[in-house]
Amino acid sequence: MPTIGKRTAQRLALYLVKASQDEVAALVDAIVKMKQSVRFCSECGALTEQEVCSICTDPRRDHSVICVVEEPGNVMRIESTGEYRGLYHVLHGRLSPLDGIGPEDLALDRLKKRIKDLGITEVIIATNPNVEGEATSNYIAQTLKPLGVKITGIATGVPIGSDLDLADEITLARAIKGRGEIK
Amino acid sequence: MPTIGKRTAQRLALYLVKASQDEVAALVDAIVKMKQSVRFCSECGALTEQEVCSICTDPRRDHSVICVVEEPGNVMRIESTGEYRGLYHVLHGRLSPLDGIGPEDLALDRLKKRIKDLGITEVIIATNPNVEGEATSNYIAQTLKPLGVKITGIATGVPIGSDLDLADEITLARAIKGRGEIK
């Protein structure tokens, strides 16, 4: 399991051995219930306990913008910023030739259908800014271009609160290249 | 001294105690020579062994763009990216009210004079993307605005090679806000 190494696993196991029968039963129950109730939204692919998630059904959100992310966790991360008020589309993966994940595995037909059905005007591609994420971003941009929708990508650059000296060279080069006018 | 804590200091001291007389003399000599020969460029304020640094005197560089940084080390950092071919201006500081560093300490008159004398068309402000750096950036932008020169800032956003889940919320919010069109 992610973030749980040998030492942490051992610590957790010993904790459970010491815990009361009730506590262990409650944990098992919670895991089973979670697994039964949480599913992927049939619209966007994010996590939900309903058929369609609360973001897709929220009339106060902007239904003309869609943000494409790799995993359901990314939706929660972007939601926590409070900066974005549109819809999402979760790919549940990224192009990864080494792992045998090709374009056909990304199920872009469903994304294309949503863009047409919802009358989307802007697609924000928010895949991870690494090699596989950027390849995925490029592929999606090329695929969606014929639809005539505006396609944007989240900004890459030096993180806020950081220091130029801490930024790696590629990030710094991109930050200089992607500089914006200060009004 | 920066990055040298108690343990490192002890390790270095013990190394020097064990080192030969010649080695220690060579180190002392190198430090003295460095201190005598390295100075700040009278034009841009970067480190140099001449009166004017090799960047300011290089005719192959773009003498119409100037990049404003806080410290000489930032010049080396940006040079290492190979992305930038213009000139620099080192502030040797940043606005820091808590440390008593105000606008008058940034010596912007010299920057203004250089912009006029060199016929600069773009000023790239590359102060650190933290509170003090951004305050400094805003102040410089306001100060230079009357000169009618184009003022840009380096891009802030998610670092390259990183993961959305690793970005802090403020950076991610900025990355969404600062998104750019994919052509």
Chain B hits for A70, CB-CB cut-off 8 Å, are 164
From B139's Cα to the closest Cα of chain A, the distance in A is 11
Instruction: Write down the pLDDT at residue B151.
Output: 95
Q: What is the count of residue pairs from A and B with beta carbons less than 8 Å apart? A: 192
Please name the member of A151, A169, A174 whose beta carbon is closest to the beta carbon of B182: A151
Give CA separation, A78 vs A104, A155, A162, B101, B109, in Å.
Answer: 26, 13, 20, 37, 42
Torsion angle, CA of A65/B178/B180/B171, rounded to 10 degrees? Answer: -90
Per the CB < 8 A criterion, the answer to whether B159 and A129 are in contact is: yes
Q: Which two tokens stand for residue B155?
A: 């891009």
**Total-model pTM:** 0.78
Instruction: Write down the pLDDT at residue A183.
Output: 75
Chain A hits for B180, CB-CB cut-off 8 Å, are 152-153, 155, 178
Contact A170 B179 (CB under 8 A): no
pLDDT digits (tens, 9 = 90+) for A31-67: 999 999 999 999 999 999 999 999 999 999 999 999 9
Spans in chain B with pLDDT lower than 50:
none
Please name the member of B83, B124, B129 whose beta carbon is closest to the beta carbon of A158: B129
Please name the member of B74, B141, B176 whose beta carbon is closest to the beta carbon of A164: B74
Rg (CA), chain B: 20
- The domain ranges of chain B are 6-37, 62-153
From A42's Cα to the closest Cα of chain B, the distance in A is 23
Which CATH number is associated with domain B62-153? 3.40.1360.10
How many other CB atoms are found less than 10 A from the CB of residue A63? Answer: 14
Chain B interface disruption, residue of A158, A169, A174, most B CBs within 10 A: A158
Blockwise average pLDDT, block size 10, chain A, 183 residues? 91 94 94 93 94 95 96 94 94 90 87 95 94 93 93 92 87 88 80
Nearest CA in chain A to B82: A173
From B178's Cα to the closest Cα of chain A, the distance in A is 6
pLDDT digits (tens, 9 = 90+) for B5-51: 999 999 999 999 999 999 999 999 999 999 999 999 999 999 999 99
How many other CB atoms are found less than 10 A from the CB of residue A113? Answer: 10
Chain B hits for A162, CB-CB cut-off 8 Å, are 128-130
Chain B hits for A125, CB-CB cut-off 8 Å, are 182
Coil/strand/helix, residue A169? helix
Instruction: Write down the pLDDT at residue A59.
Output: 95
From B182's Cα to the closest Cα of chain A, the distance in A is 5
CA B16/CA B1 separation, integer angstroms = 17
Contact B151 A84 (CB under 8 A): no
Please name the member of B154, B173, B181 whose beta carbon is closest to the beta carbon of A175: B154
**Predicted ipTM of the assembly:** 0.76
